[in-house]
Structure 1
């Protein structure tokens, strides 16, 4: 039973380290009976401090030096990194190092001792990968499901389709905030307006009033000029533009759904 001399768990580990080395000393022909008694009754740290405070080294240290077993000494244990800075003062560490080097001991051997398992830093838990942002397909499918659960706004005279802010955002992202009309007079039109939003307009190729869906496959991004042409242009011009934009809307939606 290791005595608790008030130095906590690390102090108990120090005492255990000292006592665990005794069988090897006995095997080498040295039985440190008095030392074992001191550790068992007073505690390991208290015993080490008492020995270091003596004016001269103990006879036990001399015996270990003669047997070339200084790495089994109290002084060696005091200098181990996982004990020294936690249990002993600077003066005590200095005294232990002096007694070892005075007897020709290479202090570098202290740092070759493997760190005990109880002292090793725990392996940090791996940082979980942040969840992947939902894909275009996942966002479309989630909004489609939400639309099925969300009834249209109805009155006695009309049923008004609810426009999806999610679909509008997806189409803007899909287009990179740029006009999708290949015949646009300003193909690089990309003006940023209020709230850092691009000054473009998301439009349904075929209107909701015509019974067509509020869906990215039926939506394009147009600059204000192209939107005006599509809305107020000559009939033949509008029909041709709608046909062109319908193909673009389908192609870009399908490509985004497959991640192409």
Structure 2
């Protein structure tokens, strides 16, 4: 699919995977709506790529609909990339016998899974109103899961459950949207160097230790590598209903 003269919504577009993907889409000629709760960084990225910033919570219907409307006003909406997410760690029952507060599990599921679904349903509805291209294609939805969906570590039950839900809905969502000419794929990244790890010597040492656990290459992944794969899944019209691991062949140990 050619994204030139189309619009795209990238959630979590203010930094990390989302920012790299927003830049890649803009470089291909798309008008990108950077959807994020980080207003300062989001506006910077949007200004850099000639896009538009939308302040929104991915689980908020009205805010996401407003971002979709902004995208449609600029050009036909053909791409949604869901990069917004978070992964708070806590055991289901702590060593002292205290159970995890249910609200922590609900929060992780709401942002990672409900948020992805909310953005997909609203963006897809707008895509159905676009003119079809080759093969009747109207748009693409790309989700971000995690290798934690398959190899969840100690303390990752909320995150793994949410990302496992993203993996699980990929194929049925692709089947649902096939009649509208909309494809759906998911990337499951491994250990990627994003701002979550911080900066400085201490952070660099920690990232080097994490990178040593990767089979090859023995380093953390780069956001640009995610963006490269994202663009392939977006533009390759025969990629549909797939979950692709991007992880240097790592398989996470229990901790």
TM range, normalised to the smaller chain?
under 0.3
TM-score normalised per structure 2: 0.27
Looking at secondary structure, tell me which structure has more strand per residue: 2
Answer 1 or 2: higher relative contact order, Cα 8 Å, separation at least 6. Answer: 2
Q: Bigger radius of gyration, 1 or 2? A: 1
Greater share of helix residues, 1 or 2? 1
Report the TM-score, using the length of structure 1 for normalisation: 0.27
